[in-house]
Every structure is written in C-alpha cells, then in structure tokens.
Amino acid sequence: MVSRLAVNGGDALRTRPWPAWPQPAPGVAGAMADVLGSGRWSISGPYRGTDSYERRFARAFAAYNGVPHCVPAASGTAGLMLALEACEVGAGDEVIVPGLSWVASGSTILGVNAVPVFCDVEADTLCLSPDAVEAAITERTRAIVVVHLYSALADMDPLLRIAERHGLPLIEDCAQAHGATYRGVKVGALSTAGTFSMQHSKVLTSGEGGAVVTRDAHFARRVEHLRADGRCLSATLPSPGAMELVETGELMGSNRCLSEFQAAILTEQLTILDEQNETRRSNAARLDGLLGGLGLRPQTTSAGTTSRTYYTYAVRLPDGVLEDVPVTEVTDALTAELGFPVLPCYAPIPANKLYAPHTRRRYTLGLTHEERIDPKRFALPVCEGAARRTVTLHHAALLGGEEDMGDIAAAFAKVLRHGAELVH
C-alpha cells in the first residue's frame, strides 16, 4: 500500500513556516543596550543613581498581578523553592503536588529536603483534584502546591477552603498561566504566593527567569533574603557606587537573583503580553471548534476561570480511535504533517525518567526518607490515562491566523483518517 502519511514517506500537509518564538517586544533592544552601558548588570552590583531594571520589573509585574509584592528570581524552579522555604517547608515535611506536571514540580520539593506527595488530577482540566488533596493530608503535611497546567486553571475555591481548614499555605505554580484570571483575580494573587517561570518556552520570557508574587509583606521579605544570600534591598536608596543590598542577618539565603539583562527584557515583554494572550485565546477557541468536530476533546478549565492563558494547547484523542497505537507515534505523525512539534502530554512525575531521586546522593538521608520519596508508592490512574491519550502544541502555533488553525485541524483529520498506517 502506498503511504498517505508524511511520517511514512507521503507528502506533508504543510511546508510553510510557523510563527517564531520568542518574539521580542519593540523596546527590548534599547533596554538591553541601556543595561550594557549602565555599569550595573546585577542587583548585587553598585547602585548607579537610577532604579535597577530588577526593581522596575518587580513593580510592573506586581501591579500587573494586582499584588503589592514581587520578588524576581533566577528561574521558575528557584521561585518555587524560595516560596516553599518562605513557608518554612523543610526536612521531612510533606508537600502535596499534582502528579501531572513538569518534573520540576517534584524535584523542587526534594530540593528543600521535603517529601513530594503526588496527587491525581481532574480528567478534564488535568489540574490538581481537590478530593485527592483532602485524602492525602496527614499530620506531616506542611504545604499544598497547585499547578495551573497548560491552558487550564485549577479549581481554586475548594482548594482554598481545604488549605484554610487545615491551616496550610497554598502556593500557586503559575509557570504556564501568566495573565490568566480566576473569578476576575490574576492567578498567583489568590493564595499565599504565586510563582512564575520566564524560561524560553513561556508566554512571558527572558530565556530564563522567574518571580514570586504575594500580598504578604513578611513573606516577601523572607523571599528577598532567601534569594540574595541573606540580603534584601535597602528601604532607602544608597549613594551612587554603594551596594543597594543590605546585610541584615535576618535569614540565611542563596544566590538565586535575576540579572539586569533578563529584568530589562521582561519589563519590555510584559507590555505585549496581554495582546499576545488575546491572539492565543481567539485562535484556541477556533481550534476547539474544529477539533471538537473531529471528536477530539480539548482540555477544559475550572468553572471559576474568567480568562485563560494558552501556554500549551492540549487535546485528548477520541475514544475508540488509535487506542492500540502509542501516543508518541500519533504525535510523530502530526509533527510530520505540520512541520511543528506536536508532543504527548507530560508523563506522570513518578513515572518520568527525569524524576530519579536515587541518582543523586544528596537525597540519601536515611532509609525512612528514601522510602517516603520513592516514586513507586504512588498510583495515579487519571494522570496515567491522560498521558496515554493527550497531545499538545506549543503556544507559538496559536500566534498564527485562521488558516494556520485550519492546517492544524486538517493534520489531525488526516492522521485520524489514515491511522491504520500507524497500527503495526
């Protein structure tokens, strides 16, 4: 039989290029040049008589999220670790976290010597299940981390009630949700703290970077100390040439600071975030209709969501179709048709080959601890089902136009129509 699928040597459905990512805002080049000639490339450099870009971005991002405090950080991972430690999570404490997420959601908890307790997710939103959280709480639970995954927001109302009832801090991991709102409030502002990633693939990026936002001044001060070797920014501006970071001795920290170059990029990229998010939302709605008509099930979001951010477009394959074909073969076929990466959704963290505590000696803290962090002890049937049947597209594809969405739908239709070619 002559193959009709590009993955098997047929003609690809599309050869035109897709929108590039990242896309620099108009002011980025000028801001970078400003930092380059400023004599200050870091907040740990000498004060030069003007606000650092780090301070400028912190103010802008706090205002954007409707909170009084933002502490930039070197990465999303750093931000989450800072937030956990600011909540005084430490050795042996249990932290509840969804089992379906990027591997850092688990390894970051290990990084503060705590124990990740992986919980199952809701089948439609792929976000943390409140019922699973309630069942997982023990006397050792010290915090809950909720991830707003792909393009969905977790069901925050019951999660907030659970956290309040048990006296637990709730941290929102908003690495994939910059600008999304729940009941009109920006994510990250709903809980004890919100953490963000500005890694290369994110909708707001400086290549690497992160931030912690909060309404709590004491919490923000702890985060400041934790990210700058135990120092915090001075309440009063110093003389030019002096250090702006003050050695208070309040709390020991590490160096997890954002550079001035990254802060300058983020300050400018923030000015175009809402416009880009609106383009993605419009195209995602169009794609929902096209793919839904083919029997696929786009990821939904919780009832309280008032505005979605599309970091990744996730869709579940139709029931009864290609069920004997590994999802990686389906995504390879779609990628070959589109010339754009289509990927399976994340593997459940306990089954992810990147999550391997036994490969690092720093986690060998005794037999009991090693048993508690053993990923094999977690059964997550909803996460596992989603991983077998869900495929994803990066948000760059959603920055195209109506014709681009039509091409995506046509590629899915072609692969579904000729799926017999993938059955061995």
Q: Residue 186: pLDDT above 70? A: yes
Question: What six digits make up the tokens of 268?
Answer: 């400018």
CATH fold label, 274-422: Aspartate Aminotransferase, domain 1 (3.90.1150)
Average pLDDT for 294-322: 97
Percent of the chain with pLDDT over 90: 98
CATH fold label, 28-272: Aspartate Aminotransferase; domain 2 (3.40.640)
Quick one: pLDDT band at residue 1, thresholds 50, 70, 90? very low
What tens digit of pLDDT does each residue of 75-134 get? 999 999 999 999 999 999 999 999 999 999 999 999 999 999 999 999 999 999 999 999
Percent of the chain with pLDDT over 70: 99
Tell me, what's the pLDDT at 23? 97
Tokens 């990254």, located at residue: 262
Domain boundaries, the chain: 28-272, 274-422
Q: Within 13 Å and on the Cβ side, how many CA atoms surround 110? A: 25
Q: Residue 2: pLDDT above 60? A: no
Give pTM, 2 decimals: 0.97
Task: Tell me the average pLDDT of the chain.
Answer: 97
Q: Residue 205: pLDDT above 80? A: yes
Average pLDDT for 37-47: 96
Average pLDDT for 63-86: 98
With a CB cutoff of 8 Å and minimum separation 6, the contacts of 195 are 76, 79, 80, 82, 83, 171, 172, 173, 174, 175, 188, 210, 211, 212, 213
Q: Are 83 and 193 in contact (CB under 8 A)?
A: yes
Chain mean position to CA 37: 33
What tens digit of pLDDT does each residue of 325-345 get? 999 999 999 999 999 999 999
Tell me, what's the pLDDT at 423? 78
The answer to whether 28-272 and 274-422 have equal CATH topology is no
